[in-house]
Structure 1
Amino acid sequence: MSDKKIYIFDTTLRDGEQVPGCKLNTTEKVELAQQLEALGVDIIEAGFPISSPGDFHSVEEIAKIVKDVTVCGLTRAVQKDIEVAAEALRHAKRPRIHTGIGTSDFHIKSKFNSTREEILQRAVQAVKWARNLVDDVEFFAEDAGRTDNEYLARVVEAVIAAGATVVNIPDTTGYCLPDQYGEKIAYLVNNVKNVDKAILSCHCHNDLGLATANSIAGIRGGARQIECTINGLGERAGNTSLEEVVMVIKQHKQLGFYTNIKAEKLNPISRLVSDTMRMPVQPNKAIVGANAFSHSSGIHQDGFLKDASTYEIINPDEVGADGSKIVLTARSGRSALAFRFQKLGYSFTRNDIDVLYERFLKVADTKKEVMEADLNELAKAYNAAAVTA
């Protein structure tokens, strides 16, 4: 098994579904799970089985249908949660229980009114309960981003000794800077004596817009799993965006990492998730936004038309996008106007374009975007005037 393989743990159906208004029914969850499997994710976090009968049923149905990837159920560090998750996953070919507890002093004192030692004991006990039921157990140290590194290392070592196969180091509040998060992972790699017996996982939130950067810093520090969602959906400001980390890894080959994701399916699944979860994708969203491959500035358009690589580091076909777009606005130049007229079937000379450009600008100053109908009107008026002249 390559040390450079990055496992993609998709939590769209669990953490992504926690976005207000994005609740999914079982049919929708199963459909998305099948598409995630086709995309090439390694693990699907199908839900939180004890949270509701509906979620239990969804996890159960996904476990029956999905065969080529691991199916995971989330739990608290509570015996009943863990037993219910195991029951929901009983049909899974590759079941995983994801259990854990908060490890930062914020959580230990304010949330649990407990002590570090008691939390450590609860963590170990939860992993043992889960490991008695399934072979693959992931432990999450909630709010690891704000947890003291020395204590976090103690917890990680103890849960691995108890049988955890994956240890999740969440930046639950999206607090860490990339260097801080990367150094935290590296600290665990260098200070947990049995760390080679488990995979370290990144689960970063986007409260400060750093989820993707932190996840990449995490794998550079030694983590080998990234937990993410389609379109970056998730609690508050969202989770790490699957499409972003996958394409960072693919574009920066010097990192030496790879995933099993079929990149050409990224835009189609983005649209499916957006439609199913009734959550529009912001136009300027990296990789999958409507404007990700659009060019409207004259300087950019001119360079792009000469050589697409001047302003696009990704070929739209590579990620299943509809293609690059030359959008005409008052900021567009002559080369873009000529290109769009040519696409509509008009053959204008350079002198023709010079005249048309002045007319185009008058229209562009009154509209946010000049459309095909506007171009046709300009061309017809220009040709008619040429005939009468």
Structure 2
Amino acid sequence: MNRIASAVAADPNRVIVFDTTLRDGEQAPGFSMSPDDKVRMARLLAVLKVDVVEAGFAAASPGDEEAVRRVVGEVEGPVFCSLARATEADIDAAYRALRGTEERRCHIFLGSSPIHRSAKLKMSKAEVLAAAERSVAYARTRFDDVEFSPEDAIRTEPEFLAEICEVAAAAGATTLNIPDTVGYSTPGEIGDIFRNLISTVRVRFPDVVFSAHCHDDLGMAVANSLSAVEAGARQVEGAINGIGERAGNASLEEIVMAIRTRSDRYGLHTGVDATHLVRASRLLSEITHTPVVRNKAIVGLNAFAHEAGIHQHGMMADPSTYEIMRPQDVGFEGTWFVLGKHSGRHAVAKRAETLGQPISGLHLATAFAGFKTRADEVGEISDQELLAIIEASRPAATPRQEYAYATAG
């Protein structure tokens, strides 16, 4: 039994995290990475403690084979993987690229849906089954760890999907990945698919690990991945920042934190060190020259930022009023209060105090009025601008006025 299968057998509540940032993520338009970039990213993925890193598609080009070879030669920790079509030439390329590590996996994919069989492969069901069996069996002569993916599994006939999974398992596949290649499924549907497959295939192959690989074409990749995990999948595939073909893959950071934050529902855990998620997101953003949108879950600038006065007041009373995770748990330094037109008096006073300029009474009232006017004009108020507002609004008030404002709150 290979390392991944052993980990799942030893702890049935452990979810294996398979990162495909360097393969499915990198092959999408606009996200190409150099070998140096891949090594930098792989080093951080190792620090993040993901279980499997799909380092590339070795047969895609000589450059991709070399990039995979460099990653496994310069980074230690995860199981490293290369994608391969169901051909001996692709499997050989994966083996050459991964020879530098003992912790290696070959990931074979083959179209299984009616549209893939007829339009792309021009193969019958029998021919597809034969190709799956032949390729997996050949891969097992070179790898102890073989993953098989029936491409476009969700649009494959349920009976044929179960049949091709059993054929691959019988030939030696240790992980069966059920990809929603085109992001077509829904959480309820994919949960049923996994439950049916697991109950069928595990009768003969109790040790096989089921995996979910979901795309985001309908915006449900993370929800579908979590539904698959809830239904019994014990490997989940995703990419940092959700990059990948078309609308992308499931965001790895969102899956990891959903499993962690909602352990009350899932009762599962991963081995990921989530405190490096923000670092990983920012490094990938730098490498791909693609900024992360502010409202991106988990790693976006607004994920732990608050502007509304009601929210800021609640956060000052107890952070759990509006935050279900600690920002430090994903790698942020802390909560960020944004001062803007929605901010309240409490937040302005608190920030002024933090800046060494405590204000109260008439001064606070005057400064807050000036703050609101300026925020309507420019949006976000910086610390420098807030200090200028405080200084410009410093009143020459009588003691009676100061007392009246102070007692009025």
Task: Describe the SS at the equivalent of 1:63.
Answer: helix
- 1:247 paired residue number: 257
Distance 2:205 2:217 in 1: 29
| 1:97 and 1:130 in contact (8 A); partners too | yes
The SS at the match of 2:357 is coil
Residue in 2 that maps onto 1:72: 81
- Structure 1 residue ranges (4+ consecutive) displaced by more than 4 angstroms after TM superposition: 384-387
**Amino acid paired to 1:210:** M
Structure-to-structure mapping, 1:150-299, within 5 angstroms? 150-192=159-201, 193-254=203-264, 255-299=266-310
Q: CA RMSD in A?
A: 1.4
Q: What does 1:1-389 align with in structure 2 at a 5 Å threshold?
A: 1-192=10-201, 193-254=203-264, 255-383=266-394, 385-386=396-397
- Measured in 2, the distance between the counterparts of 1:300 and 1:32 equals 36
Aligned mates of 1:93, 1:268 — CA distance in 2: 28
Q: CA deviation at 1:384?
A: 6.0
CA-to-partner distance for each residue in 1:321-348, whole Å, 9 max, x for gaps? 1321111111111111111111111221
Tell me, in whole angstroms, the C-alpha distance in 1 between the residues paired with 2:131 and 2:323: 50
Q: Distance in 2 between matches of 1:276 and 1:114?
A: 40
Contact 1:178 1:213 in 2 (8 A): yes
Q: Which runs of 5+ in 2 are unaligned?
A: 1-9, 402-409
TM-score if structure 2 supplies the norm length? 0.92
Equivalent AA in structure 2 for residue 348 of structure 1: I
Secondary structure in structure 1 of the residue aligned to 2:206? helix
CA drift of 1:382 comes to 2.1
TM superposition shift of 1:386: 5.0
2:393 match: secondary structure: helix
Separation in 2, partners of 1:300, 1:86: 54
1:253 CA drift (Å): 1.4
Shift of 1:177: 0.4
Are 1:205 and 1:237, in contact at CA under 8 Å, matched by a contact in 2? yes
CA-CA distance at 1:351 after TM superposition:
4.2
Determine the C-alpha separation between the residues in 1 that align with 2:285 and 2:204. 41
Match of 1:99, SS state, is: strand
How many residue pairs get matched?
A: 388
Q: Deviations over 1:190-209 (max 9, x none)?
A: 11233423101100001111
